[in-house]
Amino acid sequence: MIVFTPRNKPSKNWIFLAPTLSIILTVILGGFIFAFLGYNPGETLYHIFISPFTRIDRISDVFVKACPLIIIGTGLIFCFKANVWNIGAEGQFIIGALLAGSFGLLFPEMDTKFLLLIMIFIGFLGGALWAFIPAILKTKLNVNEILVSLMLVYIAMLLIDFVVRGPLRDPMSFGFPLTKAYPEGALINKIPIPGIGFLGQLHYGVISVFILVPIAWVIINKTLLGFQIKVLGSAPKATSFAGFKEKRITMIVLLLSGGLAGIAGVIEVSANMGQLQPEISFGYGFTAIIVVFLGRLNPIGIILAGIIIATVKLGADNAQMAIGIPKVVTGLFEGILLFFLLTGETLQKYQIAWKNYRS
Amino acid sequence: MKKILILISIIIIGILAYLFNENKTETKISKDISTSTKVGFVYLTTPGDHGWTYAHELGKQKVKNHFGKKIITTIVENVPEGPDAIRVIRELAQQGNEIIFTTSFGYMEPTLKVAKEFPNVKFEHMTGYKRTPNLATGNIRFYEGRYVQGVVAGLMTKTNKIGYIGAYPISEVIMGINAFAQGLKSVNDKASISVIWANTWYDPVKEADAAKVHIAEGADILAQHTDSPAMLQIAEQNGVFGFGQSTDMSAFAPKSQLFASVNNWGPYYIEKIEALRNGKWNTGEAPDHWAGNKWGGFSTEMLELSEFKNMPEDVIKKAEEVMNEIKSGKLKIFAGPLIDNNGKEILPAGKEMDDGGLWGMNYYLQGVDGKIPG
């Protein structure tokens, strides 16, 4: 069978070479696939990787797309570093947005400049509440958090569906499932650039990335909590020897990641939709998991990872518009890219050998 | 450092790609650009071979056949109904598409937002109700086909139980159920419709489950307001009959599909593009309370029925007759007296329900069992 043994000392060169090689292999293999299907590989790759950066408003759209991924990912870092597997960020995102949005819609008299801040706070609480369920079950009853958090995603989806079709449906929507538009104070505005106007969908919410990510970096690298999280993740037994409370840390990381996913939900809906609708997330919570691993559980890394994923997604749209290449083909390409990047990382950390246990 | 290397390598690859890029499409386009109209389409899913988006794809192909080199079409498929839609629609507008068709209800707000930013580009949104001077809406009178389904079901059923799979309890779907009931009642006053809400537009598993429940409860004719062929496949396995949705689905159930209501978007697309090329495009005069500046049915050929199969000659004859009467306007589907399934009079005899009334339907007419959830 195949055996993975950790390399004692990962080669310094390969730390740089592995991802480079991964990308080169992706481009070569992807190029062959594109050529095989009758598309000019150079042109296709240009549209996927480069075209999202050819206009300033396209660049801003990359950031807009990456924004929820990075915010959710920032929260997930805490969990994954502690070996706590929160797979339900999608649900926490939805509940955060749902509770905050409901507040904004139900209390229009709160429409002041503080409304948005209150909603972001409620979003944090909502996301944290949804993560509290797997957290309490794990710490009290030792229930697997992967299953609980994942199942809660579907409950959250049905819950928002119910609210949007039932209690909060706009009476003027002819039965269509939409809430009223948010009050003015609940919206996140687009950023006006002097002399240009608006750049695509670039909104103030994107700025939060540059606030939240450094805070996360500081917590992880410069605080006792961060240290405890890392110890719990890499050597669970050492946690108790050191007198750290394992359950408390588990609870904190789940609440933090749930809360951040909730904030991401509030920002996404307030900036880009301005009302609640049955679907608000489009898989951000799941894609963020890929972003976190691509960014190697590092706050700065996930900014880059988020941008890479967002670029490829936007590039896929551009490629389709420019040369008519179907999304399924560019989706294939995305898969190959992730496959090679993650394989590269694994091979760089582990040695692979064939071992025959019979002999 | 490593991330920087990744970025550098991406950029190098990109530059290489750019150098290799021969700009074939751009030169090709520029030859025709002086006379060609650029038309954009936004699709919810990959067109595939059945259902809602496939019907739009067939419409787009009709457009291409009709205009040939006079237009250049660009499609973007698999666009989620949120911020991605805004970005894609804006990009299409920026790339010089003069008219953009957005083909799902959920694109309403995104289309509205982009339409305000590009007052010189024309937008056509399908099945929404918000419009501006450069954003028109289009829809099909799907309920006309469902009346014919009701007639055929009434003549074909032996158990007098009709199983109906609804997507969501919104007026669009409810008017379809009621039209079906009107057709059913016109030929068979013993039969009744039972509705299962799938709470999805497309989910083969849920649709198949709903079909199984209907059959277990004795239904021998199935109808659907959902998009997958799953219901028909279950019908085929169980030897009962059903109706296809959006496109002809007989390939999935050759022995079970009686016919399908076929969404024919081609004529609508062609009309609007033609109007744009002649400088006569407008949003029409439709009142604001119902969907569709252009709301066409049999008479505009926006709704068609696939070939009648698996039914006796006399039923086929009746179905064709009914269809032609709806087409000519002789048969009014929602003419009074209309009585809901609690016995309350909705519309007195001698009157006909207007389009606004259709979009306000939140009740079942006689012939439908149960009550609307919510």
In a domain, B213, yes or no: yes
Claim to verify: residue B284 and residue B315 sit in the same structural domain: no
Domain match, B251 and B152 both: yes
**DSSP code per residue over A286-297:** HHHHHHHHHTTT
Spell out which residues of chain B touch residue A46, defining contact as CB-CB under 8 Å.
14, 17-18, 21
Check A317 against B79: CB less than 8 A apart: yes
pLDDT band at B199 (very low <50, low <70, confident <90, very high): confident
Query: What does the pLDDT look like over B38-58, one tens digit per residue?
Result: 999 999 988 888 989 999 999
Using alpha carbons, list the distances in angstroms from residue B134 to B119, B120, B121, B280. Answer: 6, 7, 7, 12
Subunit contact B95:A314, Cβ cutoff 8 A: no
Give yes or no for residue A283 having a pLDDT over 60: yes
Has residue A344 been placed in a domain?
Answer: no
Token pair 């990009």 is found at B91
Give the best residue of B4, B18, B54 to mutate against chain A (max A CB count within 10 A): B18
**Contact residues, B window 144-203, toward A, CB-based 8 Å cutoff:** 168-172, 174, 199
Chain A contact for B61, CB < 8 A? Answer: no
Helix then strand then coil, in percent of chain A rounded to 5, is: 70, 5, 20
In-domain check, residue B287? yes
Contact B162/B193 with Cβ under 8 angstroms?
yes
| Residue A307 Cα, gap to closest chain B Cα (Å) | 11
Could you tell me if B132 and B208 lie in one domain?
no
Question: Are residue B215 and residue B349 in the same domain, yes or no?
Answer: yes
Res A337: pLDDT = 85
Instruction: Let me know how many helices (H) and strands (E) chain A has, helices first.
Output: 13, 4
A138 — pLDDT class (breaks 50, 70, 90): very high
Query: CB–CB of A165 and B3 under 8 A?
Result: no
Cross-strand bridge partners of residue A192: A198
Residue type at position A2: I
Distance CA A331, CA A311 (A): 13
Are B74 and B223 found together in one domain?
A: no
Per-residue pLDDT at B231 exceeds 90: yes
Give the residue carrying structure tokens 């277990």.
B216
Give the number of residues written for chain B: 374
pLDDT of residue B291: 57
- Nearest residue, CB atoms, A282 vs list B80, B88, B105: B80
Residues A297 and A164: beta-carbon distance below 8 Å: no
Task: Using alpha carbons, select from B102, B85, B110, B170 the residue that is nearest to residue B136.
Answer: B102
The answer to whether position A250 is within a domain reads: yes
CB contact under 8 Å between A15 and B19, yes or no, is no
Instruction: State the Cα–Cα distance between residues B208 and B242, nearest whole angstrom.
Output: 13
Q: For an interface test with B, give the residue of A11, A59, A311, A321 to mutate (most B CBs within 10 A).
A: A321
Q: Write out chain A residues lying below 8 Å of B91, CB-based.
A: 317-318, 321
Strands (DSSP E) contained in chain A are 2-6, 190-193, 197-203, 350-354
In a domain, B2, yes or no: no
- Residue A241, judged by CB atoms within 10 A of its CB (0-12, 13-18, 19+), counts as exposed
Residues B122 and B173 occupy one common structural domain: no
Q: What does the pLDDT read at residue A282?
A: 87
Q: Do A45 and B3 touch (CB under 8 A)?
A: no
Residues of A in contact with B7 (CB under 8 A): 304
| 3 state SS for chain B | CHHHHHHHHHHHHHHHHHHHCCCHHHHHHHHHCCCCEEEEEECCCCCCCCHHHHHHHHHHHHHHHHHHHHEEEEEECCCCCCHHHHHHHHHHHHCCCCEEEECCHHHHHHHHHHHHHCCCCEEEEECCCCCECCEEEEEECHHHHHHHHHHHHHHHCCCCEEEEEECCCCHHHHHHHHHHHHHHHHHCCCCEEEEEECCCCCCHHHHHHHHHHHHHCCCCEEEECCCCCHHHHHHHHHCCEEEEEECCCCCCCCCCEEEEEEECCHHHHHHHHHHHHCCCCCCCCCCCCCCCCEEECHHHCCEEECCCCCCCHHHHHHHHHHHHHHHHCCCCCCECCEEECCCCEEECCCCECCHHHHHCCCCCECCECCCCCC
Please determine, for residue B289, whether its predicted confidence score (pLDDT) is greater than 60: no
**A65 has a chain B CB within 8 A of its CB:** yes
**Residue A215: its pLDDT value, please?**
95
Could you tell me which residue, A282 or B264, shows the higher pLDDT?
B264
- What total number of domains does chain B contain? 2
Q: Return the closest-CA partner of residue A104 out of A185, A203, A166, A190.
A: A185
Q: Which of A27, A54, A174, A201 to mutate to test the interface with B (most CBs of B within 10 A)?
A: A174
Which of A173-187, A342-356, B163-177, B298-312 has the lowest average pLDDT?
A342-356
Rounded CA gap, A316 and A335, in Å? 12
Pairing of strands B221-224, B161-166: parallel
Position B233 pLDDT exceeds 80: yes
**Where in the sequence is the domain holding B151, given as residue range(s)?**
142-263+304-359
Last-in-domain residue among B277, B299, B321? B299
Q: Which two tokens stand for residue B106?
A: 């959920």
Task: Kindly state whether residue B371 falls inside one of the protein's structural domains.
Answer: no
How much of chain A exceeds pLDDT 70, in percent? Answer: 99
CA-based nearest residue in chain B for residue A181: B109
pLDDT tens digit sequence for A289-323: 989 988 888 898 899 999 999 999 999 999 998 88
User: CB of B96 within 8 Å of any CB in chain A?
Assistant: no
> Chain centroid to CA A174: how far?
34
Residue of A23, A24, A64 with shortest CB distance to B83? A64
What is residue B30's predicted lDDT score, i.e. its pLDDT?
45
- Kindly state whether residue B136 falls inside one of the protein's structural domains: yes
Q: CA nearest A310 in B: which residue?
A: B84
Q: What is the pLDDT of residues B11-27, one digit of tens each?
A: 666 555 555 544 444 44
Q: Distance between CA atoms of B301 and B323, rounded to whole angstroms? A: 12
| A183-226 pLDDT per residue, tens | 988 999 999 888 777 888 899 999 999 999 999 999 999 999 99
Of A45, A280, A324, the CB nearest to B82: A280
The pair of three-digit structure tokens given for residue A337, joined into one six-digit string: 């890219």
**Token pair of B211, please?**
């079909």
At which residue do the structure tokens 């930013």 appear? Answer: B117
Between B47 and A70, whose confidence is greater? A70
The yes-or-no verdict on residue B101 having pLDDT over 70 is yes
**Total number of domains constituting chain A:** 1
Please list every residue in chain B whose beta carbon sits closer than 8 Å to the beta carbon of residue A317: 76, 79, 84, 87-88, 91
Contact A279, A39 (CB under 8 A): no
Answer whether B24 sits within 8 Å of A61, measured CB to CB: no
B136 & B285 share domain = yes
pLDDT at B241: 96
Q: Do A50 and B17 touch (CB under 8 A)?
A: yes
- B127-164 in b/e burial notation, b at 16+ Cβ within 10 A? bbbebeebbbbbbbbbbbbbbbbbbbbbbbbeebbbbb
Q: Which chain A positions have a beta carbon within 8 Å of B76's beta carbon?
A: 317, 320-321
Domain-terminating residue out of B275, B299, B323: B299
Which one of A165, A277, A321 has the shortest CB-CB distance to B91?
A321
Please indicate, yes or no, if residue B98 is contained in any of the structural domains: yes
**Residue A226 contacts B where some CB pair is shorter than 8 Å:** no
On the 0-12 / 13-18 / 19+ scale of CB atoms within 10 A, A155 is middle
Q: Burial letters for B295-304: b for 16+ Cβ neighbours within 10 Å, e otherwise?
A: bbbbebebbb
Residues B175 and B312 in one domain: yes
Cross-chain Cβ contact A40/B129 below 8 Å: no
> Quick check: A214 and A299 in contact, CB under 8 A?
yes
Q: Which of B137, B42, B40 is nearest to B97 (CA)?
A: B40
For residue B71, the domain's CATH number is 3.40.50.2300
Length of chain A: 359
pLDDT attached to residue B5: 62
- From A46, A166, A321, residue closest to B76, measured CB to CB: A321
Whether residue B335 lies inside any domain: the answer is yes
Pairing of strands B221-224, B241-246: parallel
B238 with B95, same domain? no
Under an 8 A CB cutoff, do A175 and B170 touch?
Answer: yes
Q: What is the pLDDT of residue B28?
A: 44
| pLDDT beyond 80 at B135 | yes
- What H or E segment, with its residue span, contains residue A338? helix A327-349
Q: What is the arrangement of strands in the sheet containing B221-224, beginning at the earlier edge strand?
A: B192-197, B161-166, B221-224, B241-246, B257-263, B303-305
Same domain, B165 and B68: no
Q: Among A57-61, B46-50, B141-145, B354-358, which range has the highest average pLDDT?
A: B141-145
**Cα–Cα distance, B247 to B233 (Å, whole number):** 15
Same domain, B156 and B202: yes
**Hey, is the C-beta of B85 within 8 angstroms of any chain A C-beta?**
no
CB pairs under 8 A between A and B: 144
Q: Which domain holds residue A226?
A: 40-324
Q: What is the CATH number of the domain that holds A157?
A: 1.10.3470
- Residue A173 and residue A149: Cα distance in Å, rounded? 33
Interval A95-103 mean pLDDT: 96
B77 lies in the same domain as B49: yes
A163 touches chain B (CB under 8 A): no
Amino acid residing at A130:
W
Beta bridge partners of B242: B222, B257
Mean pLDDT, rounded, of chain A? 90
Rounded to the nearest angstrom, the minimum Cα separation between B267 and chain A is 24
pLDDT over 90, % of chain B: 70
> Six-digit token pair at A352?
């692979």
DSSP state of A12: H
Asked whether the beta carbons of A72 and A93 are under 8 A apart, the reply is: yes
Q: In this structure, is residue B245 part of a structural domain?
A: yes
State yes or no: cis peptide before A299, omega within 30 of 0: no
The angle at the Cα of A298, spanning A293 to A303, to the nearest 5 degrees, equals 85
Nearest alpha carbon to residue B160 among B150, B170, B145: B150
